Copies of this chain bind each other. A is one copy, B any other.
Amino acid sequence: MDKTTITREIPDDLVQERISKLQLEMGKKAIDGMLLTQNIDLYYYTGSMQNGYAFVPAEGMPVFFVKRSLERARLETLIAVEPLGSFRQFGQTLAERIPQLFKAGGSVTVAADLDVLPAQTYFKLNQLLQSAGAVELVDGSALIRGQRMIKSPWEIKRIETAAKAVDEALGEALNVLKEGITELAWIARVEYELRLRGHIGLMRMRGYNQEVATGMVTSGAAAAVPTYFDGPAGGLGLGATFPQSVSHRVIGRNEPILIDVGCCIDGYIIDQTRTAVIGQLSEQLAHAYRTSEEMMRAAEKGMVPGTPCSELYIASLDQAAAAGLSAHYMGFGLDQAKFLGHGIGLEIDEWPVLARGFDLPLASGMVLAVEPKFTFPGQGVVGVENSYVITDGTPRQLTRTKEQLIVLP
């Protein structure tokens, strides 16, 4: 193994800061240990997503128990890396390695990322942990997702790198967006350009059953076809086994082309949408498109620390109503999505969500993709999506692509 090629990517002090912050929050919730199981959570807290389990005690040093590759994990993280060994012995391994917690004899509350950990593995782990002591294995995912909401400058720089790549890739691909190309053929070109710029080839979603390739390019009526995907636009897709996003449909004149495409570079995601048209939009769709830009301006004003997330969504509903577009806002009929925006970072569906029930106030360092869109069955979807980081003042836009209706001849 050429060791010169693998180095620690995350600054050491950032990992230490994240662990300390997690331990502080664990203390508040009387959680004695956090068991990290998911690759993204492992990466966030250790800098490595090798195969294994990381254990963070509320006090003291964390340990990353690695199954594979031990050698690579040791190069990627400053956290102590130890062989996972026999999975059946994991309880004993843990008890020996973290004696201050498990050998004291009392009941131990261990939290894990149960929003993603499969139930089958949960039951196995829960059983194995009993041999470490009287362990209660509870859900710690809210702690993790809560902490991950606030991005460090180091993370924001990575999101900006992704934003630059998608802007450049779209610029290249727009040269071949012409009447007669299929949605699939055009996204193929966008993805090619993204890949050349370092896109890892997939976008990570935390939600069960949710998946996204690079996003969607959907045109005219195909864009307005409803689907299972929890977003404002569905897309006809490539059949029942991929019932969203691009289809084999040929892109035509005078219909909206929704370009909701992101990428993932060095683990960090950008998400943005632009609307294009070859020719011109109908007056109704043009009105809806203009409204989406106006809603973006209103959202920008509201995106300051202290504003409850839900407030921005409710304001957007009012604004859609005032424009006479309530029925079309974020989907149509039974299939309207119930949010205005969402956190992005290592995953595309991070916290916070600009939605009812999400009353958490915005805070500096949160990164949000805001995406007011309007769906017209039989005609298409129009809208715009930008990503922003919340600052102490006005939000700073991370999306680089010029915000305007892209009109092609």
Chain A residues near B (Cβ < 8 Å): 1-2, 5-6, 8-10, 37-39, 43, 47-51, 67-72, 76, 112, 114-123, 139, 141, 184-185, 187-189, 191-192, 195-196, 198, 200-202, 204, 208-209, 211, 213-214, 221-222, 224-228, 230, 234, 236, 238-243, 245-248, 266-268, 334-335, 346, 377-378
Contacts and interface: CB of A to CB of B under 8 A. Distances in A.
A1 B377 contact: yes
Contact of A50 (B43, B200, B213, B227): B227
List the 8 shortest-distance A-B pairs measured between CB atoms, nearest first: A241-B267, A201-B213, A188-B195, A119-B122, A69-B226, A51-B228, A200-B242, A114-B119
Given A2-B221, A71-B226, 13 more contacts: A1-B225, A2-B378, A5-B225, A6-B225, A9-B240, A37-B208, A48-B243, A49-B241, A68-B226, A118-B118, A184-B198, A198-B238, A201-B246
Contacts of A239: 9, 266-267
A118 B120 contact: no
A51 B209 contact: yes
A166 B196 CA distance: 20
Contacts of A214: 201
A43 B224 CA distance: 22
A1 B226 contact: yes
Contacts of A68: 226-228, 230, 334-335
A240 B158 CA distance: 13
Contacts of A50: 227-228, 243
21 contacts: A1-B224, A1-B225, A2-B221, A5-B236, A10-B240, A39-B228, A48-B243, A49-B240, A50-B228, A68-B334, A69-B227, A69-B234, A112-B119, A114-B118, A115-B120, A118-B119, A120-B139, A187-B201, A188-B192, A201-B242, A239-B267
Given A2-B221, A209-B38, A185 B196 contact: yes
State how many copies of this chain the complex holds: 2
A53 B56 CA distance: 35
A37 B120 CA distance: 14
A76 to B, nearest CB: 5
A81 to B, nearest CB: 13
Contacts of A114: 118-120, 123
Contact of A227 (B72, B211, B225): B72
Contact of A191 (B191, B226, B241): B191
Nearest to A3: B225
A209 B41 CA distance: 11
A372 B328 CA distance: 54
A189 B241 CA distance: 24
B117 A117 contact: no
Nearest to A246: B201
Given A43-B240, A195-B188, A213-B202, A334 B69 contact: yes
Contacts of A241: 9, 43, 49, 200, 266-268, 346
A266 B122 CA distance: 32
A71 B68 CA distance: 45
A93 to B, nearest CB: 17
B118 A115 contact: yes
Contacts of A47: 240
Given A5-B236, A198-B184, A243 B70 contact: no
A234 B214 CA distance: 23
A319 to B, nearest CB: 24
